Chains A and B, each alone.
Chain A
Amino acid sequence: MKRTSLSGLLMTGALLSSVLSASVLLAPGVMAQGATSSDAAGKDWSTPAGSMNSQRFSTLNQITDQNVGKLQVAWTFSTGVLRGHEGAPLVIGNVMYVHAPFPNTVFALDLDHDGKILWKYEPKQDPNVIPVMCCDTVNRGVAYGDGKIFLHQADTTLVALDAKTGKVAWTVKTDDPAKGATGTDAPLVVKDKVYVGVSGGEFGVRGWFAAYSVADGKQVWRGWSMGPDSDTLIQPGKTMNLGKPVAADSSTATWQGDQWKIGGGDTWGWKSYDPKTNLIFYGSGNPSTWNPKQRPGDNKYSMTIWARDADTGSVKWVYQMTPHDEWDYDGVNEMVLTDQEFDGKPRHLLVHFDRNGFGYTLDRDTGELLVAQKYDPAVNWASKVDMDPKSATYGRPQVLPQYSTEHNGEDTNSTNICPAALGTKDEQPSAFSPRTGLFYVPTNHVCMDYEPFRVSYTAGQPYVGATLSMYPPKGETNMGNFIAWDATKGKIVWSLPEQFSVWSGALATAGNVVFYGTLEGYLKAVDAKTGKLLYKFKTPSGIIGNVMTYEHGGHQYVAVLSGVGGWAGIGLAAGLTDPHAGLGAVGGYAALNQYTSLGGALTVFALPQN
């Protein structure tokens, strides 16, 4: 998407919505950040993470650590849906695009007229897709490019809407919900392609990552998470893994028989892009089933960081973080691309906070592993990741047998494993501030008991194969932390305990402020350097959405979707109990349903405007 055509669109969009208001004058300034913004977000928030590098950093600095305490609610908007609201709206010029969970409504709101609805899109989808969406009917948002808004619907329809009118430009079916495949991810647009992945790891859906043409919805390429090289688009001898070329059919070699066909490795997380190398980065999720005994081998390439050529899908490098998963530690969390000094040298880094509790720093051009350290001290399933390139287990986690559900076997309850299956962090994305050099990471502080057992596969039916109970680490009551992390050293800089898991994506700004939401429904602002709480406001429902910011009419706004749900709403609604507290222990930990209730609302904040 070139800037010229973007500005053209915005002009017409603004004209249409505001009929010759001041917005036309505003338009040129608004164009500063287009859909191809790769460094930081500015006046617009045009891509799910604000910029292609997924830093969730904004250069806006009207709201600062000095004045954020005066923040007020400017306006609100109800989506009319009472399910978990993940993701964040986009702002392009004078229009905000708000998405909702199933039925996946999309609204275009006129920022020149107090959020007047310019258009609304509501697809008709078969409600039978609802129960195949493991853990709530969430959707993580829309993408923008080529004058279109892209939405991956629950029923795996990828739809392109005319950004001005909401009219359907084209649709394409990406997978089959009858098999348990669903669409929940936010697409990413780069140049002339839109990229999407798929959900369904609890149904044995084989994951893939695909590029479609923004012009007409034609599939350009599709790379599967597992299968022969012709499916994965791995180039034997060329694709790299920890400094070594990958052998032929390296994926199928790590599965028994045909199991890779129902092997999971789904791709429902965030996507990042580096224009310097034309590489697109994302992660793959858990292998199916959750019972490790039933799928011997490393189960490649589940739990993997992927670097693919954006034009062809050809794999530049792969790194499998959790070979032969035994805990459901999906590898789908965001890949944040930063340029930082490492060991005194400027490097192109990729930073990833995995569900498995390790914060990884890699060279994103080569896939070289630089740092792998625990970002929650409670993490215990592995002692460390082997960092010795000469070792036979280089790059692999050193698993402690007592926490190995494979080692302990079927029908055995492995206890006190940290983190729990929801990970030290789930999909809720972190933010990075180039000003402080720190990452701001919403985390879970929850452990589990895990008992795997035999399951049988039926297409379209859950294929789980384990039972778990979750509870905070021994002797603690907080189920989450919001931390600042130094990815070049692999160290926590500060950590703010939160009563519940922090399930909201963070935002860092040039005003030295970091924002995040809590499951009770608070929007919080903290000092980027110290973590000091500067502001909080309780929104209508628990927050599992991501905080974003934009500028309109010369004012900076901060916005977040409320609407409790997702896995957090299911697991924490009634409160956790400690299975090891002994008979007669009552109460357990705080119950989320005593703090918040279902909702679906956007809250937009600004400084007082006189």
Chain B
Amino acid sequence: MTKCARIFIVACMLTCLTAGLVRAEKPGDPAAVSSEDGKYADKDGNPTYKVGSDGKVDFYSYIGFVRYSANCLQCHGPDGLGSTYAPSLVDSLKNLDYSEVMAIVAGGKKDVSESQQLVMPALGENKNVMCFIDAIYVYLRGRSTGAIGRGRPAEHEPKTDAFTKAEDSCMG
């Protein structure tokens, strides 16, 4: 494992740990209680989505859709609904919390037997994924509760400078 991947996992473990301790039930109440630079958090401090009464989604959910579709769709199917190749994340995220999702995405997961070959790749070294992983999580969380529907969200909050800055520094 490269240094880069290790940093991602360690960073995750720290946030995950704190999040895990106060967690009541997986993955907890998705209601947004705070926001910073267009990024919303639930009462446990975990990233979450915000969908307005007009259907407009927060920017993270939107970019999460875009990055999900580029990095996960080829296995997990359109809109997180699963495929012949990998499970439905709409279902999975009903029972996985933020820390578990982070650990699986960064470190991978395997279930290989005589008749089944399920391998989730370790994406911890992949900037195209890890620089957007909170957004992908937020989008899938919204899909799993039904707050976000199928397809590209029609309207979204504007991109913030903070997002652009973070993206640029992460992508290098």
Contact = CB atoms under 8 A, between A and B. Distances in A.
A135 B85 contact: yes
Given A470-B78, A570-B83, A458 B70 contact: no
B84 A461 contact: no
Interface of B: 55, 65-67, 69-71, 73-75, 77-79, 81-85, 88, 108, 110, 112, 114-117, 119-121, 123, 125-128, 150-152, 154, 171-172
Given A131-B108, A458-B125, A574-B82, 16 more contacts: A82-B116, A83-B84, A84-B84, A127-B119, A128-B119, A455-B70, A461-B126, A463-B128, A464-B70, A464-B128, A469-B152, A570-B85, A573-B77, A574-B77, A574-B79, A588-B150
Contacts of A334: none
Contacts of B112: 127, 130
A136 B128 contact: no
Contacts of B82: 573-574
B79 to A, nearest CB: 7
Interface string A460-473: 01111111111000
Interface of A: 80-84, 102-103, 127-128, 130-132, 134-137, 202, 413, 449, 451, 453-456, 458, 461-470, 564-565, 569-571, 573-574, 576-579, 583, 588, 593, 598
A458 B121 CA distance: 14
B119 A454 contact: no
A378 B166 CA distance: 41
Given A80-B114, A462-B128, A574-B77, A569 B83 contact: yes
B84 A583 contact: no
Given A81-B115, A461-B123, A461-B125, A571 B69 contact: no
B83 A469 contact: no
Contacts of A579: 151-152
Contacts of B66: 451, 453, 467
B154 A454 contact: no
Nearest to B149: A583
Contacts of A464: 70-71, 74, 128
B7 to A, nearest CB: 14
Rank and list the top 9 A-B pairs by shortest CB-CB distance, nearest first: A569-B84, A574-B81, A131-B121, A467-B69, A570-B83, A130-B119, A461-B126, A579-B151, A573-B83
A82 B123 CA distance: 25
20 contacts: A83-B84, A83-B85, A103-B117, A131-B120, A135-B74, A136-B84, A413-B152, A449-B152, A451-B66, A454-B171, A456-B127, A456-B128, A466-B70, A470-B78, A564-B84, A569-B84, A570-B85, A571-B77, A579-B152, A583-B55
A10 B94 CA distance: 58
Contacts of B154: 583
Nearest to A135: B74
B55, B119, B120, B128: residue with the most chain A Cβ atoms closer than 10 Å: B128
Nearest to B90: A574
Contacts of A128: 119, 121
A467 B119 CA distance: 22
A461 B83 contact: no
A579 B78 CA distance: 12
A469 B127 contact: no
A588 B110 CA distance: 32
B78 A469 contact: yes
A102 B117 CA distance: 8
A466 B151 CA distance: 15
Contacts of B77: 570-571, 573-574
Contacts of A134: 74
A588 B150 CA distance: 10
Nearest to A128: B119
Contacts of B115: 80-82
A462 B71 contact: yes
A566 B68 CA distance: 19
Contacts of B128: 455-456, 461-465
Contact of B70 (A82, A130, A453, A588): A453
A83 B108 CA distance: 20
Contacts of B79: 574, 577
A588 B79 CA distance: 13
Contacts of B152: 413, 449, 469, 579
Nearest to B118: A130
Contacts of A569: 83-85
B110 A127 contact: yes
Contacts of B65: 467
Contacts of B172: 456
Contacts of A80: 114-115
B126 A458 contact: yes
Contacts of A82: 115-116
Contacts of B67: 467
Nearest to B155: A583
A565 B85 CA distance: 7
Contacts of A135: 74-75, 85
A598 B117 contact: no
A465 B171 contact: no
Contacts of A470: 78
A583 B73 CA distance: 22
Nearest to B76: A570
A467 B154 CA distance: 15
Contact of B84 (A81, A102, A469, A565): A565
Contact of A570 (B84, B88, B108): B84
B4 to A, nearest CB: 9
A128 B122 CA distance: 10
Nearest to A129: B119
Contacts of B70: 453, 455, 464-467
A127 B110 CA distance: 9
B52 to A, nearest CB: 12
Contacts of B121: 128, 131-132
Nearest to B159: A411
B126 A130 contact: no
A449 B152 CA distance: 10
Given A461-B126, A462-B126, A466-B70, A137 B78 contact: no
Nearest to A565: B84
A132 B75 CA distance: 11
